Amino acid sequence: MSDALKALNNLRTLRAQARDIEVVVLNEMLEKFAVVVAERREEAAADNAAQREKDEKLALYKEMLLNDGIDISELAQLKQTETKPKAKRAPRPAKYKFIDEDGNEKFWTGQGRTPSPIKTALDAGGSMDDFLI
């Protein structure tokens, strides 16, 4: 809560601060505050009505399920059995073969950053076809 709201909530602080303000200004503040409070009450009433409506619908659905002989826990189990783990994609096959700086034979799929030995060969005028598997 901000300091301004704490001051509004404390009667002694509010009285002390109101001494420096004219009555006309206090009346204007009161009218504005009343509008804010009325709007907030309307919002709260609308939220409560929506929650009541939702609760009524849930009760109705529960009753319909029980009349059909279906238990709510069966619905929860149905949701759990429907979810399948996402299959992991198979790794891409290598398209290119090259020899790295250490003399080891390496493979590259053609995706991502070009390996430095291949890049060096391309810069020297070579072709990617030279590295095809």
Q: Which two tokens stand for residue 44?
A: 């709260």
Q: Looking at the structure, do residues 25 and 75 belong to the same domain, yes or no?
A: yes
72, 100: one domain: no
Residue 89 within any structural domain of the chain: no
Question: Residue 83: its pLDDT value, please?
Answer: 62
**Based on the domain organization, do 75 and 13 belong to the same domain?**
yes
Q: Is residue 56 located within the same domain as residue 25?
A: yes
**pLDDT value for 87:** 81
| Tally of structural domains, the chain | 2
Kindly report, residue by residue over 43-90, the tens digit of the pLDDT.
Answer: 999 999 999 999 999 999 988 988 988 888 877 777 666 666 778 888
**What's the pLDDT score for residue 28?**
96
- What's the mean per-residue pLDDT of the chain? 88
Whole domain around residue 63: which residue ranges? 3-82
Would the pLDDT of 10 be above 90? no
> In this structure, are 51 and 108 located in the same domain?
no
Is the domain of 100 the same as that of 69? Answer: no
pLDDT at 29: 94
Contacts of 75 (CB under 8 A, 6+ apart): 65
Residues 77 and 101 in one domain: no
Predicted pLDDT at 75: 76
Distance of CA 56 to the CA centre of its chain: 29
Q: Which helix (H) or strand (E) holds 20?
A: none
pLDDT of residue 80: 66
Residue 88 located in a structural domain:
no
* Other CB atoms within 10 A of residue 118 CB: 20
Flag whether pLDDT at 97 surpasses 80. yes
